Structure 1
Amino acid sequence: MSIEQVLAWDPEVIVTIDQSFAQTVHNNPLWRGVSAVKNGRVHLSPKLPFGWIDFPPSVNRLPGLWWLGSKVFPALFPEDLGAITREFYQLFYQVELTPAQVQRVLAGRD
């Protein structure tokens, strides 16, 4: 879609899988007028070990539902995403994440 279409829609929240976009959108004059950018509601989706909201279809979409809900409707999703992430990784991947690893996963970093 074009930036003109985004400006016309003026979304309140933007969810992206593009780390570069998430890091630079606030400095791009074309995007500064978009409500989501002005209000700091551009969110980079977690993607380790697979995407949480996009591809490939996997069990990662389960915590992705909580993550997305907490970004779009934070008052309705008060759960501790760190705890959900730790429990999910233990159950599905048999991995004990450190607090730093949990933060990195939730921040959408590789």
Structure 2
Amino acid sequence: MENFLSEDTLKSALGVGNDIEFVSCSSEVYDAMMGDWMLDFEVGIPALLESGIKVLIYAGEYDLICNWLGNSNWVDGMKWSGQRKFQAAASVPFVVAGNSKSAGEVNW
């Protein structure tokens, strides 16, 4: 992943410039996010959903800290007007455009 995200052509396409090196765990990003550590941001998400803003709750399958099962549990338990419909929706494969292989699952 680090090699792929460090390719000059990809960085150019993303507009991040060639002087930035991708690392899987940046101490600079980690330090900047310490102010958010162990804070409950779920409390603001229902209001976003109620106002029509689409929200992506993402967790990688192998993410040690933000595991998908924990995220799935709090999303399923979150109170909002679309909760029942969301809970009843089937998970479907998430496929990146141009690729026939599933990159994960998504609930719409």
The TM-score range, normalised by the shorter chain, is under 0.3
Point out the structure with max Rg over C-alpha: 2
Q: Scaled by the length of structure 1, what TM-score is found? A: 0.27
